[in-house]
Chains A and B, each alone.
Chain A
Amino acid sequence: DGGITQSPKYLFRKEGQNVTLSCEQNLNHDAMYWYRQDPGQGLRLIYYSQIVNDFQKGDIAEGYSVSREKKESFPLTVTSAQKNPTAFYLCASMSRTGYEQYFGPGTRLTVT
């Protein structure tokens, strides 16, 4: 069954700690994306990657980092430099020949 998995679904961390969110896809898609969702603000792009070992900053990359060592995986690290990390994080992917993005179920991160 093809799709995108994100784990864990809920994540709790103390302020000052880095935390890594997992995103895996078995759709054989080249491009992968990380979005942040806050109430009433839609989705904002954090980082994206079009091929392995390459990624680009989105609109709100400050305080986040990513890696793309494998086609299937695009983990997001929320660092202690992110001022307001509590949010719902969504991972998405897109094929080379398509224009629509497919989304994972999301991870809700709470930092206290």
Chain B
Amino acid sequence: AQSVTQPDIHITVSEGASLELRCNYSYGATPYLFWYVQSPGQGLQLLLKYFSGDTLVQGIKGFEAEFKRSQSSFNLRKPSVHWSDAAEYFCAVGAGNNNDMRFGAGTRLTVKP
């Protein structure tokens, strides 16, 4: 079964600084990878997804992520963070069917003015 590790529980960055959130997955076949964002007390919103093809994927709100098979990673990046990006971010891996999406424990992002 697949699993996801987000090594960083909490990250603080200054507004305008670059951001990278780490995600490592474990899965035997080609994974379906996702990043979601959650504001406090809200549901999850899909930022971006990777199924196949170009390993650098663009998402909403200026985010991008790069799939690196050799490192089993799918790190999320943003070149310049805005105060509104403060939220919790979840990486998820799916098996391509409807049943089995696994989520990481999440990384909470704080943005300093």
Instruction: Report the count of interface residues on A (CB-CB < 8 A).
Output: 26
Residues of B with C-beta under 8 A to A102: 46
Given contact pairs A31-B98, A94-B98, A100-B34, A43 touches B103 in the complex (Cβ within 8 A): yes
Given contacts A106-B41, A108-B41, contact A100 B90 (CB under 8 A): no
Contact status B104-A42, CB under 8 Å:
yes
The residues of A that contact B42 with a CB separation of less than 8 Å are 105-106
Given contacts A99-B51, A100-B34, A101-B101, whether A42 and B106 have CB atoms under 8 Å apart is yes
- Best-buried of A48, A50, A99 by chain B (most CB within 10 Å): A99
Contact (Cβ within 8 A) B43 A42: no
* Residues of chain B within 8 A of A30, CB atoms compared: 98
User: Are A48 and B99 touching (Cβ within 8 A)?
Assistant: yes
Q: CB distance A40 to B96 under 8 Å? A: no
Question: B44 and A90: CB pair below 8 A?
Answer: yes
**Interface residues of chain A: helix, strand, loop or mixed (majority):** strand
Which of B4, B46, B103: most chain A CB closer than 10 A?
B103
For residue B63, CB closer than 8 A to chain A, the reply is no
Nearest residue (CB) in B for A6 is B43
Given contacts A31-B98, A50-B98, A56-B99, contact A104 B105 (CB under 8 A): no
Partner of A41 from the list B41, B45, B99, B105 (CB cut-off 8 Å) is: B105
Chain A positions within 8 Å of B104 at CB level = 42
Other-chain residue from B9, B46, B106 in contact with A100 (beta carbon distance below 8 A)? B46
Distance from B11 Cβ to chain A, minimum over Cβ atoms (Å): 15
Question: Known contacts A99-B49, A103-B43, A105-B42; can you find 5 more A-B pairs with CB under 8 A?
Answer: A42-B4, A42-B103, A42-B106, A99-B51, A100-B49
